[in-house]
Chains A and B, each alone.
Chain A
Amino acid sequence: MMPISDDRYKMVDKTMKKLNYDRSALIETLHTAQETFGYLENETLKFVARKLRLPYSKVYGVATFYHFFRLKPKGKHTVVVCMGTACYIKNAKVILEKIEERFNVNVGETTSDGLLSLLSARCVGSCSLAPIAIYDNKAIGHLSLEQSLKEAQELIQ
């Protein structure tokens, strides 16, 4: 049951140890787990619950409360369209809709081939570059509609 031989669990355990396995370590631990595994799998949540002596429902409750945590795996590539106010008034909504349409994917989901996840962000804090989207790790600002689609296309090729 204990998949501790998996090195990734050791990373998660390290964070808990650093914080003395205190229950307050839950959010920090989930951050580490998501960074290590890419998303929060049920098994991972159960592991954390056991280690911190918390009911699984509590752990699940916290993981679903915060937007930052993902319970589903991400696609190979990700596009995050910022939907902060500055981007919104500069037509970020249209960009998001067009990407949804072109790649046949709803925001928050991954294409059926697992290549592209489309996400939206509350605000990435680069409002001067509005509208902005993050393609994998690269932020591209002052996006035009065509460019936003082109960048996404290039990403998955």
Chain B
Amino acid sequence: MIQSLEELHQLAQEKRAQQDTFTQELRVCIGSSCASLGSNELQKELNQYVTQDESKKRCTTKGVGCNGLCSSAIMVSHYDKHKQKETLYENVTQEDIPALVNRFENTQALEEKLCDMNGSFFTKQKKIVLENAGVIDPDNIEDYIGKEGYLALFTALEELSPNDIIEEIKLSGLRGRGGGGYPTGLKWETVSKVEAEQKYIVCNGDEGDPGAFMDRAVMEADPHKVLEGMIIAGFACGASKGYIYVRAEYPIAVEKLNRAIKQARRLGILGTKIAGSGFDFDIEVRLGGGAFVCGEATALVASIEGKRGNPRQKPPHLSDQGLWLAPTVLNNVETFANIAPIIRKGGEWYKNIGTPTSTGTKVFALTGHIKNTGLVEVPMGISLQELIDDIGGGVQEGSTLKAIQTGGPSGGCIPKELLHTTVEYESFKAIGSIIGSGGLIVMDESSNMVEVARFFMEFCQSESCGKCVPCRVGTTELTQLLDKFVAKKATQSDFELLKSLCEVVQNSSLCGLGQTAPNPVLSTIKYFEDEYLKGICHD
């Protein structure tokens, strides 16, 4: 049990001292892409290799979360504590194990697998949410504490009032990272002011957008950071219970979170009288069931209550009537992961990153026809050009860029002419897309935009909960209309109908799913109208 800030500092120091007995550390990425290539087995082998040899006892190995460059999986990083230098290797296989370890002495070995860490993939990123990804062992709470983990929580409990915390978050300018972009500080303030016996903190980890895996990586690489953000939110808003709603399709994230919760309970970081204060808070994980609509706030809450994920009309908002009708704060995984750094370093520090209206950083999942696929964190305000060309390495050789899809089924397609657009909530909205949760799919000339629009519409049709007519019937009709364009059998009046039906679905659906479902169609009509016209049959 850690009873005070002082004891936390002490434990952190002990952990660091203990780690200092090892001079070399080999960190094997066990993120989803590396794991599917067998990184867990690689780490075991590597561990066996270094522990059986007496002379290599000063070396330790550990599995770490995703360090971003998934296209070069399996990634292994070597950290030399004396020189404080990190070396990264890509495409590592079992056969490389001896060379990997021998390289401590012989710098010639494995030269060809060396990854240039001075390249713009690394230098143009700014890591706050992912600061520990690729560095700490997510299964080890002490590793997290050694990296200033739970420092923000203990500082908050001993030195700050709930109001101070809310003011700090407001000052930081942090906005919801799940797609909505609502100011987090304001959301917390509203709930903190409601008088109620029971309030809840809910974390949305139901990453349903196809093509997005940011939250998965955060939960798997640094679960304690999510917990810390939630506990701080609980203290600030006067809540005593939290739920993390995670997709059942992410079993590793579920396992890591559950383990983290157990560890935190054991150290008295969750439970009653946390850190010797009068504050009680506990967290439970709830599994989702693969319903995209459950990313919608009211549907998510219904799902935690064990019901079908049908959204309901708002207001009342969750801040008044959320989970079991109690005032509820609902934030996304990435939003919660920003909280501890803000409390630790101050809202002023955070505000100075990014732009005045979109502060801080954003994590993106770069996928599609791009060279460096993977997970990146960039300061807001960076241009898409830099994100795609400098960090992403541009499109794959032999092809040219056509468009970028952001925001998943609720977002839009951005044509290559608009690459100068900066990553900000407002600027994306102005060109008919959204930042969304952070999936960024790069498409080359081979992609047919009408087919892409149809893909998303079919997705929304199948994910529509069926409660309201505009969404249930509208998405079905729209999919059938788009089928005609794909088959090149549409008529001019189909095109007019397509456009007006989009408007109807957008304006009259009950929840965000229906309201945003036409976005991919509208944005592709806006920028790639000729492809729709080609789908019209004139005889």
The CA of A92 and the CA of B116, in the complex, are separated in Å by: 32
Cβ contact within 8 Å between B368 and A86 = yes
Cβ contact within 8 Å between A85 and B211 = yes
The CA of A31 and the CA of B289, in the complex, are separated in Å by: 9
CB distance from B506 to the nearest CB of A (A): 21
Cβ contact within 8 Å between A86 and B367 = yes
Stretch at the interface among A6-14, A60-68, A71-79, A99-107: A60-68
Cβ contact within 8 Å between A126 and B210 = no
Cβ contact within 8 Å between B36 and A141 = yes
Contact of B33 among A28, A62, A126 (CB under 8 A): A126
Stretch at the interface among A110-118, A127-135, A148-156: A127-135
Does B502 sit within 8 A of A, measured CB to CB?
A: no
Does B249 sit within 8 A of A, measured CB to CB?
A: yes
**A31-B287, A129-B73, A141-B33 provided; 18 other pairs, C-beta below 8 A?**
A23-B306, A27-B306, A65-B308, A84-B210, A88-B455, A89-B441, A121-B249, A122-B249, A122-B290, A122-B459, A123-B208, A125-B32, A125-B216, A127-B365, A127-B367, A128-B373, A130-B367, A130-B368
Which residues from B are CB-within-8-Å of A123?
Answer: 208-213, 249
Which residues on B are within 8 Å of A, measured CB to CB? 32-33, 36-37, 70-71, 73, 207-213, 216, 248-250, 286-292, 303-309, 365, 367-369, 373-374, 405, 408, 439, 441, 443, 447, 452, 455-456, 459, 465
Cβ contact within 8 Å between A69 and B32 = no
Contact of B249 among A68, A90, A130 (CB under 8 A): A68
Cβ contact within 8 Å between B367 and A67 = no
Cβ contact within 8 Å between A31 and B248 = yes
The CA of A88 and the CA of B210, in the complex, are separated in Å by: 10
Interchain Cβ contacts under 8 Å between A and B, 5 examples: A24-B304, A62-B307, A68-B288, A69-B289, A126-B33
Which residues from B are CB-within-8-Å of A88?
Answer: 210, 455
The CA of A89 and the CA of B303, in the complex, are separated in Å by: 31
Which residues from A are CB-within-8-Å of B290?
Answer: 66-68, 122
Cβ contact within 8 Å between B306 and A62 = yes
* CB-based nearest A residue for B253: A125
Cβ contact within 8 Å between A68 and B441 = no
The CA of A111 and the CA of B350, in the complex, are separated in Å by: 56
Cβ contact within 8 Å between A68 and B305 = no
Cβ contact within 8 Å between A62 and B308 = yes
Known: A85-B439, A88-B455. A128 touches B374 (CB 8 A): yes
Which residues from A are CB-within-8-Å of B208?
Answer: 122-123
CB distance from A26 to the nearest CB of B (A): 4
Cβ contact within 8 Å between B373 and A127 = yes
Cβ contact within 8 Å between B71 and A128 = yes
Q: What are the interface flags for A133-145 relative to B under an 8 Å C-beta threshold, 1 for contact and 0 otherwise?
A: 0000011110000
Which residues from A are CB-within-8-Å of B213?
Answer: 123, 125-127
The CA of A62 and the CA of B310, in the complex, are separated in Å by: 11
Using a CB-CB cutoff of 8 Å, which residues 2-41 of chain A contact chain B? 22-28, 30-31
Does A95 sit within 8 A of B, measured CB to CB?
A: no
Cβ contact within 8 Å between A122 and B447 = no
Which residues from A are CB-within-8-Å of B405?
Answer: 85
Which residues from B are CB-within-8-Å of A25?
Answer: 306
* CB-based nearest B residue for A29: B306
CB distance from B253 to the nearest CB of A (A): 9
The CA of A121 and the CA of B459, in the complex, are separated in Å by: 11
CB distance from B464 to the nearest CB of A (A): 12
* CB-based nearest B residue for A123: B210
Which of A67, A125, A132, A141 has the most chain B CB atoms closer than 10 A to its own CB?
A: A125
The CA of A126 and the CA of B248, in the complex, are separated in Å by: 15
Which residues from A are CB-within-8-Å of B289?
Answer: 27, 30-31, 65-69
Does A124 sit within 8 A of B, measured CB to CB?
A: yes
The CA of A125 and the CA of B365, in the complex, are separated in Å by: 10
* CB-based nearest B residue for A84: B210
The CA of A132 and the CA of B441, in the complex, are separated in Å by: 16
Cβ contact within 8 Å between A83 and B210 = yes
Which residues from A are CB-within-8-Å of B32?
Answer: 124-126
Cβ contact within 8 Å between A132 and B367 = no
